[in-house]
Amino acid sequence: MAGKRPVFTENFSSNLLTIHSFLGLEGDSAYQHLLDRLFEDIVPTICQFPKSGPSFLARTIRSSDAQRLIKKLQARLKRADDLREFILDDYLVLYLIRRDRVVFLSIKHHRQLSFDLKGFLPER
């Protein structure tokens, strides 16, 4: 069975550059390790088994503000879209399964600020 085609958003690429800056000069080897794991192992695995990561929207949401934001997010997704997350060492990868593609939306180090979905989620 063939895997899904990977697509990387501009935001995902920008996040990688931000992570490199975030880690600083001392983090060059950690950054290279991230890139190696990501592109040699994680991306192929997610493309072959896209439901490897848990559903981002299946979380229990208790905050009314978060519930409101989730509803706005759901309104931007197509009916068959599946928004998922994958933990890779100290990083959280956010990706979207859409038809024959896996769209890599964002990657963040756990010590960075949260995701900004508004800027990179494609319009319906």
The residue ranges of every structural domain in the chain are 5-109
- Summarised one tens digit per residue, pLDDT across range 92-102 is 999 999 999 99
Output phi, psi for 123, to 5 deg. -70, 155
Which of 3.30.2310.20, 3.30.460.10, 3.40.630.30, 3.40.50.2300 is the CATH number of 5-109? 3.30.2310.20
Contact 95, 77 (CB under 8 A): no
* pTM across the whole model: 0.82
- Summarised one tens digit per residue, pLDDT across range 62-85 is 899 888 988 888 888 898 999 999
Q: Which pLDDT score, from 0 to 100, does residue 117 have?
A: 59
Contact 84, 92 (CB under 8 A): no
- Residues (pLDDT < 50) of the chain are 1
Contact 90, 109 (CB under 8 A): yes
Q: What is the mean pLDDT of the chain?
A: 89
How far is it, in rounded angstroms, from Cα 80 to Cα 112?
30
B/e letters for 14-47, b = 16+ CB within 10 Å, e = fewer, are ebeeebbeebeeebeeebeebeeebeeebbeebb
Instruction: Find where tokens 């009916």 sit.
Output: 79
